Structure 1
Amino acid sequence: MDENIWERIREERLSLARMLAPLTAEQWATPSLCAEWTVRDVVAHLAMTPAGEPRPWPMAVALVRARGHLWCAGRDVARDYARRPTAELVASLERSADSRRKPLFVNDANILLDLVVHGQDVAVPLGVDRPVPAAAAAFTLERIWSMGWPFHARRRLAGVRFRAAPETPAGWAAGEGPEVRGTPAALALLMTGRTAAALPMLHGPGVARLADRLDVRREPRAG
């Protein structure tokens, strides 16, 4: 990745730490937009990456215990890491803001995506407005749209035209069909499967088509 993306990663880690610092114990225990993950679990997941966690052996053990189910293994290692004090998790994000360290199986291109989407997973249930900075928004939306597994956004959301609010350089857009407009945060949530949370934030003639087609009862899994 280029230096600009690493700078966006740094900014997201620092701004997330600022948002988290004043939270109460009750807020840390709030269910996030990721099924079976609390705010604490999500933050632990984000703090693990620049710490180079999980290491291969603990992850292998978790995979065996989860019978090869990658999502369940990831949930379990995040919950284990989340046993740390809240102040330590926040301080870890601050200390590691410039870190380029990561587990062996993490793709560099997904680090910023992870921070942006999981930042919304935490902020939305807490009722906190967390706008996505323009450069981070453009990179994140394009990355999600171009990916296959685990989101398959281009295939799953075919038939509408997405257009981001003017936070993104030149206004990010993708797809063909009736228009669906929204902030980069709302579009990122929709494209990564946070359907029930995202739909009320979207506008345009394509929203009704999406609502009819997508199963809003399905809760997303952390990715």
Structure 2
Amino acid sequence: MPGATTTRETLWAAAHTERAALADDLAGLDAARWALPSLCGRWSVEEVVAHLTAAASTGPLRWIASVVGARFDFDLHNQRRLAEHRGATPAETLARFRRVTTSTTAPPGPTAAWLGEVVVHAQDVRRPLGLPHTPPVETVTAVARFFAGRDFTVTSRSTIRGLRLEATDGPFATGEGPLVSGTTLALTMAAAGRQAYCDDLTGPGLPVLRGRCSGT
């Protein structure tokens, strides 16, 4: 697996694949399901999709201008960009998302972070909807390794500090301390603060990780 999903080009290709898979999964949802709460804070399924469209439509200069315009209130910045890219109907929101499937536009930051944005937010909506999809292990491993290395869009490094994480379906392993094990996807989602995925994990370090997720 070394190098399998580590170049900028392969990271973007993986992001494009996961965007397309999510768009296909969401086709045909009725209005009630689009309005369901996601795993991402107060946002609904539709709002998360609009947020993904915004992320794929906002380059560095526009991102900086938006953040400055929001007086560095990142919640306000995200809400404004979400509203900009949300359609008048869920069908329009989905159509807008499909149009950015192959975009390489992104705010400032490493490409692995924007692959992580797609992987995490896709599961934020799939889990409540009961839509089964697991990205390729090499795709999620690239995100897991990035999350283990730094706090960026999520406080992942802080969330897993002092714990040993080991994937049961791939090569990902990191840290020292009480063990937490499970699929690469479950470990990645928990590192991103999604407490629901702690139910898919085991090990003596799990109570610590679950407690940290509950506070994010």
TM-score, with structure 1 as normaliser: 0.81
**Alpha-carbon RMSD:** 2.5
* Cα 1:26–1:63 shift into 2, 3 Å: same
Question: Structure 1: which amino acid aligns with 2:140?
Answer: A
Q: Deviation digits for residues 178-216 of structure 1, max 9, x if unmatched?
A: 221122221122111122x122111122213434x5362
Question: Matched residue of 1:214: which SS?
Answer: helix
SS of match in other structure, 2:188: helix
Match among 134, 139, 144 for residue 136 of structure 1: 139
Distance in 2 (CA, whole Å) between partners of 1:35 and 1:51 is 22
Deviation at 1:149, TM superposition (A): 3.8
Q: Equivalent residue of 2:29, what SS?
A: coil
Q: How does 1:94-105 map to 2 (within 5 A)?
A: 94-103=98-107, 105=108
1:180 aligns with 2:180: yes
Alignment partners' CA distance in 1, 2:110 and 2:212: 28
- Give 1:119-130 correspondences, 5 Å limit: 119-130=122-133
Name the aligned partner's letter for residue 110 of structure 1. A
Taking a change above 3 Å as real, the CA distance of residues 102 and 209 of structure 1, as seen in their structure-2 partners, is closer
1:69 aligns with 2:69: no
Distance of aligned partners of 1:155 and 1:22 in 2 relative to their CA distance in 1, 3 Å threshold? same
**2:148 aligned partner:** 145
- Structure 1 position 29 matched with structure 2 position 28: no
Q: Which residue of 2 aligns with 1:210?
A: 209
Mapped contact 1:132–1:184 kept (Cα < 8 A): no
Distance across 2 between alignment mates of 1:208 and 1:52: 38
- Aligned: 1:85 with 2:89: yes
What 5-or-longer segments of structure 2 have no aligned partner? 1-6
Deviation at 1:107, TM superposition (A): 4.4
Alignment size in residue pairs: 209
Kindly indicate whether the alpha-carbon contact (under 8 Å) linking 1:8 and 1:135 is maintained by their aligned counterparts in 2.
Answer: no
- Report the equivalent of 2:11: 5
Q: Is the 8 A contact 1:131 1:185 kept in 2?
A: yes
Q: Which has the higher contact order (CA 8 A, sep 6+)?
A: 1
